[in-house]
Amino acid sequence: MRYLLAAAMLVLASVRPAPAMPQRIVSINVCTDQLLMALVEPERIASVSFLAADPATSVRWRQAAALHLNHGRAEEIMALQPDLVVAGTYAARATASILKKLGYTLLELRPAASIQDIRDNLLTLGQATGSLNQARKLIDVFDQRLERLRYPAEGTRKLFVNYALNGWTSGTGTLVADLAHHAGFDVAGDRLGFQGLGNVSLERLILLSPDLIDLGNDWADPPSLASQSQGHPALQSLLQRTAQVSVDEPLWSCGTPWTLDALAQLRQARDALE
């Protein structure tokens, strides 16, 4: 679910004139938070969003805990007197438009829907923050690791289904699909023909008979119908004969350099299926 939210958070990158080396950068989106922390030294980060410090949504939560945290409200951002604001669309949409109107320098990044988007976002943000070299360095390391993890293109693809609560799963054109393809898997969208996120009923899931399932966060405490639906006997029966993987959600809910950790897990699971 957080994956969904994160995906909706980023919009088209729109670079505006900024000082060559912004010194008071504020990020109000959990995905840009993490990219920023990867690229820029902490002294130049005036604030990141509170979600960046939440282990459920952020890979770099320890690092974020040492920073000033914001809730994406226009007034608190203005009080920080930023020279660059990095944003997405979700929740802070109104904030972003106010800040833009007031003349703040605003950078909006679109959500990574592919591995290539991660590179693009790193470069865009690197350029805007004057950390282009750091960005290029990260991308080099990223690409080398990607090459090591890539499943041979001639191999047969198995089916991976990330089956989140209420039956939400990834279709084509998503970061998860791109990762799965790199790891030697199709996703449900490849087989059923849908883009983005799709809702797949339990019955359809059983008919797909996936080779690998990731149930994601079960949100079991406190309970909800959605979390209880994972106890459905039909699903349990399917799980008994299907391999499971549990990717830490922040790894792929935002496209970051650490997203390759998710790919590594998928690749490992793919090898285990041989």
Partner 1 sequence: MTYPLLMIVLTVAVSAAFGVSLLTGPSDIGLAELMSSLGSAGADSTALILEEIRLPRAILGLAIGASLGLSGAALQGYLRNPLAEPGIIGISATAALGAVIAIYTGLSLAYPLALPILAIAGSVLAVLVLQLLVGPGGALSLILAGVALSSLAGALTSLALNLSPNPFAALEIIFWMLGSIADRSMDHVHLAVPFMAAGWVVLMTTARSLDVLSLGEETAGGLGVDLSRTRLLVVTGTAISVGAATAVSGVIGFVGLIVPHLLRPLVGHRPSRLLPASALGGALLLLLSDIGVRLLTPGTELKLGVLTALVGAPFFLSLILRHRSTYGL
Residues that bind partner 1 (CB under 8 A): 1, 165-166, 199, 201-204, 206-207, 209, 219, 221-229, 231-234, 237-238, 241
Nearer to partner 1, 116 or 224 (CB): 224
Least distance CB 211 / partner 1 (angstroms): 14
User: Could you tell me the two tokens for 87?
Assistant: 């944003």
Residue whose tokens read 């391999």: 243
Nearest CA to 120 among 107, 134, 136?
Answer: 136
- 148 or 232: CB nearest partner 1: 232
* Closest CB to partner 1 among residues 144, 224: 224
**Alpha helices of 28-114 — where are they, by DSSP H?**
30-39, 61-65, 74-79, 93-101
| Contact predicate 24/82, CB 8 Å | yes
Nearer to partner 1, 155 or 231 (CB): 231
CA distance 107 to 87: 6
Q: What is the DSSP string of 160-189?
A: EEE--GGGEEE-BTSHHHHHHHHTTEE-HH
Q: Which is nearer to partner 1, 144 or 209 (CB)?
A: 209
Which run of H or E residues covers position 85? strand 84-87
Give CA angle at 37 (173, 253), nearest 5°.
Answer: 25
Residue (49 or 124) nearer to partner 1, CB: 49
Beta partners for residue 159, in sequence order: 186
